[in-house]
Structure 1
Amino acid sequence: MLPLLSLAVSCLLFLALASGAAIRRDTVPPDATKAAVDAMMALYDEQTGLWDPNSTASSWWQSGVALWALTEYMVKSGSHEYLPQALNTVKIQRAPLTWWPDGDGEFRADSTDDTGWWALAMTSLYELTGDEEYLLIAEEDEAYMYKYWNTTTCSGGLIWNIPSRTYHNAISNELYLELTAKLHNLIPEDTMYLNHSLQEWEWFKNSGMINGDNLINDGLTDDAACVNNGMTIWTYNQGVILGGLVELYEATGDILYLDEAQRIADAVVNSATLVRDGTLSEPCSNEEACEPNGTAFKGIFIRELAKLNAALDDHRYRSFISQNAVTAYENAQNGSNFYGFQWQGPYDNVTIGTQEAAVQLLVAAYL
């Protein structure tokens, strides 16, 4: 009977493959993470130090996130294979920006959040290499961001748009929270960065951006009221705050920061808008509607959720992270290790946003 049974199983497998039916593996090959990184590096341009620089579906800040994702991969895997490209990016991109005439280099852009992404990448590059040059760049970026702490409206907080001095948004303030707490944790005997981080959190938690569902809207109204503007609940706004709160917990030992982070993370995992059929999703329905920025958001959330998960004794988000990785591997990649926008699939198109999101997902799940 065993040969007949084996023959029957083989026939069923052949028919399923021939008909295009999905065969669930429920596992991801051990080399899938490196393969996704290699594919991301196929989008890298040596001359500019950017990823996919000629595409309208890419933004300058996304190359900062790509550098952050690449460096985190090297930190966790122990590989330095792409360190020359990382250092090349820093060398080229820290120069004064041609599109921001008032900037003087070192990743100081015309919006505070753009600077924040690059600054966090510098902290990871410092962890990878031990070279204090990158830590100093991150400190310079922190000082640049803090120049735009508002002292006239909304009782504080960073503004987003530097030329117009407008808009208190979530992401700039979340990035500043994580950056300052991270700098404190990297620099022995620091007090300044910890004070800045505590100042940021005290303002943020009272700002109204965290709504009644424990989810974070995009920002505050531009009028005198400075209240929650009710705008889109993006996944990355739910993510970066987690990273900041974990760093604050590590800085202070105060478990209340982890409690707050769990409330936000639980709200996301249980959200019918942000999680569909168990898979993290954006409010925008497709890649075209999310371009160029939103394609990268989910990976940022998962990276920061994994940071929270590692800080918790019960690692309660491990299965959610791994489930998303399996779903993306099985449904969102094209067979050449490029990943599309929706992790549920089908594969549509790769951009640096979609690929760096997949890299962050796979690093979070398997490294």
Structure 2
Amino acid sequence: MYKSNLLSLFVLLLTIVFTNSSPPAKDVFEALRSVCTGKFQGGICPYAIAYDIATQLAGNWYNRDGANGLWSDGSPSIWWPSGVGLWALAEFFNTMEGRATNKLYLATRWAAIETAKNQNNYVHTKFTDDQAWWANGALRLEQYIRSTGDATQDLIKAAQAVIDDNVVHETGECGGGSISIDRVYWYYGNPPPSTTDKATISNVLTIYTMATMYSFTRDPTLLQGGARGGAIDIYNWLVSTDLLNPQTGYQRDTMDTANGQCQLRGGSLTYEYGVLVQALMALADATGNQQYITHAMTYIRNALNQFTRNNIVYEGCDDTNTCRGDQIAFRGILV
């Protein structure tokens, strides 16, 4: 739980850091605190706090089980939050530009590449959303690496392996009878959990991965067409099934395909909105179609109406004090 709370706080702080950047300086902490001067009350400097948390996360990763991608004792339950951690650190590097130390960056780069080598290119748990978190973190880190004039093939290879595995686990149930509109199952191992669910989170993460990968490869089949469709096709399917509604901004969690019934179930969760908005921004960047930004604004307004009170983000489980495990980290992804 401590690791999830630390990660959630770090993701929240990234939002503040991203909107208040300044030129690089040698002394990281002093430079960050100087940026804070006059902007925040009470002597609190979120930039320095975010840097300190990032350093702790990367240090724990490097000194413990970084080669296998985990910040814990190896429990499978930490696999997807560790993937989010890779993305958060990569986002931090891109936001901070030259203000992050080489030690922090190199430790993260090492762990990301070693994890790909040791964990089957992130295709590790048979949950399509888990591995997509890792792919998106790898691609975001590769964007930073290339901004420095360097490049890797390991991270691109791993992200492509995730895309390939996710689309293999698309099927035509509840899709209209054409292979080009098959969509991604949430889990494909032995039950439990359910193997008949097509979850919004798996599909929007796959959209995000495909659209981001397009910025590296310019392969048009990542966006549309191809053997099983691309990011645009997946988004259109989500809208056609009412898992997503770009007019109201509402989204549902899951479509259960058992017995061909195509039943929608589950309401909204904070993190699904956060990933959805990122996916639509990536689609807008890839296609130049600003309609995706319009849709993203509708979704985020609805999310803020649902999940904020007095500018504080709440999860549905907060009202009953039942937030456990995964849910602890969800709201940071929305922000």
SS at structure 1 position matched to 2:103: coil
Q: Higher helix fraction: Structure 1 or Structure 2?
A: 2
SS at structure 2 position matched to 1:291: coil
Q: How is 1:291-330 mapped onto 2 (pairs within 5 angstroms)? A: 291-302=324-335
Q: Deviations over 1:48-98 (max 9, x none)?
A: 11454138795111111111111111122122331232233234422455x
SS at structure 2 position matched to 1:168: strand
Name the counterpart of 1:137.
158
1:262 aligns with one of 297, 319, 327: 297
Change (3 A) 1:152 1:53: same
Q: Deviations over 1:239-278 (max 9, x none)?
A: 111111111111111121111111100101122xx11221
Displacement of 1:121: 0.9
Name the counterpart of 1:179.
209
Name the counterpart of 2:172.
151
Structure 2 CA distance for aligned equivalents of residues 255 and 57 of structure 1:
39
* Structure 1 runs (4+) greater than 6 angstroms displaced: none
Displacement of 1:46: 2.6
Q: How is 1:264-303 mapped onto 2 (pairs within 5 angstroms)? A: 264-271=299-306, 274-285=307-318, 289-302=322-335
Structure 1 CA distance for aligned equivalents of residues 108 and 164 of structure 2:
23
RMSD of the TM alignment (CA)? 2.6
Name the counterpart of 1:37.
54
Structure 1 CA distance for aligned equivalents of residues 294 and 92 of structure 2:
28
Q: Contact (CA 8 Å) 1:106, 1:137: kept in 2 or not?
A: yes
Name the counterpart of 1:251.
286
Name the counterpart of 2:227.
none
Displacement of 1:281: 1.3
Percent identical residues = 20
State whether structure 2 residue 212 is matched by structure 1 residue 198: no
Displacement of 1:140: 1.6
Displacement of 1:42: 5.3
Structure 1 CA distance for aligned equivalents of residues 44 and 244 of structure 2:
35
Q: Higher strand fraction: Structure 1 or Structure 2?
A: 2
Structure 1's unaligned 5+ residue stretches are 1-23, 98-104, 303-367
2:142 aligns with one of 126, 134, 137: 126
State whether structure 2 residue 129 is matched by structure 1 residue 107: no
Structure showing greater radius of gyration is 1
TM-score by length of 1: 0.67
Change (3 A) 1:136 1:148: same
Displacement of 1:288: 7.5
Structure 1 CA distance for aligned equivalents of residues 208 and 110 of structure 2:
25
Name the counterpart of 1:356.
none
2:262 aligns with one of 220, 226, 237: 226
Mean alpha-carbon deviation: is it higher for 249-258 or for 53-62? 53-62
Structure 1 CA distance for aligned equivalents of residues 280 and 77 of structure 2:
29
State whether structure 2 residue 116 is matched by structure 1 residue 94: yes
State whether structure 2 residue 88 is matched by structure 1 residue 69: yes
Displacement of 1:228: 2.0
SS at structure 2 position matched to 1:264: helix
Q: How is 1:348-367 mapped onto 2 (pairs within 5 angstroms)? A: none
Structure 2's unaligned 5+ residue stretches are 1-39, 146-150, 177-181, 225-229
Q: Deviations over 1:276-298 (max 9, x none)?
A: 22111111128973332112211
Change (3 A) 1:107 1:55: closer
Name the counterpart of 1:350.
none
Structure 2 CA distance for aligned equivalents of residues 57 and 137 of structure 1:
19
Q: Deviations over 1:11-65 (max 9, x none)?
A: xxxxxxxxxxxxx927741423212323434543534114541387951111111
Structure 1 CA distance for aligned equivalents of residues 319 and 112 of structure 2:
32
State whether structure 2 residue 41 is matched by structure 1 residue 25: yes
Q: Contact (CA 8 Å) 1:287, 1:295: kept in 2 or not?
A: no
SS at structure 1 position matched to 2:244: coil
Structure 2 CA distance for aligned equivalents of residues 249 and 283 of structure 1:
30
2:105 aligns with one of 80, 83, 87: 83
| AA at the equivalent of 1:187 | T
Q: Contact (CA 8 Å) 1:185, 1:247: kept in 2 or not?
A: no
| AA at the equivalent of 1:250 | D
Structure 1 CA distance for aligned equivalents of residues 320 and 134 of structure 2:
24
